[in-house]
Amino acid sequence: MKILYFAWLKAKTGTAEEEVSPPAAIATIADLVEWLKGRSPGHADALSDLRLIRVAVNQDHVGLDHPVGPNDEVAFFPPVTGGGR
């Protein structure tokens, strides 16, 4: 499973992209977040407040109850701020 971090999540985790192999019990984004928090204090910090975080699976926006599998690309990022003012 490929994990991507953007904006301040990249700074806090110290990682832009990592390949992980969570146990089979990790079935949803919510499960995955809890599991990823164990990887480092930076991960725990970055993922501590789920209200500040948005998630995409295979480049589509999803909710915390979305399923995840070994071949998925999962991205964590803050709410987007593109466009003009």
Partner 1 sequence: MIRVQAEDFDPGAELAGFAAGNHKVGGICMFLGLVRDFLGAVPDGAPPVTAMTLEHYPGMTEKQLAAIEAQARARWPLEEVLIIHRFGRLEAGDRIVLVAAASAHREAAFEACHFLIDWLKTKAPFWKLEHAEGGDLWVEAKESDDLAAERWAKKT
The nearer residue to partner 1, 34 or 80, going by C-beta atoms, is: 80
Q: Are 59 and 73 in contact (CB under 8 A)?
A: yes
Name which position in 25, 49, 51, 60 contacts partner 1 (CB under 8 A): 60
Residue 52 CA to residue 78 CA, distance in Å, equals 6
Residue 75 CA to residue 32 CA, distance in Å, equals 11
Q: Which residues pair with 17 in a beta bridge?
A: 4
Q: Are 55 and 64 in contact (CB under 8 A)?
A: yes
Name which position in 56, 62, 68, 74 contacts partner 1 (CB under 8 A): 56
Does 51 participate in binding partner 1 (rule CB under 8 A)?
no
Does 3 participate in binding partner 1 (rule CB under 8 A)?
no
Q: Which residues pair with 5 in a beta bridge?
A: 76
The nearer residue to partner 1, 38 or 82, going by C-beta atoms, is: 82
Q: Which residues bind partner 1 (CB under 8 A)?
A: 4, 6-8, 56, 59-61, 75, 77-85
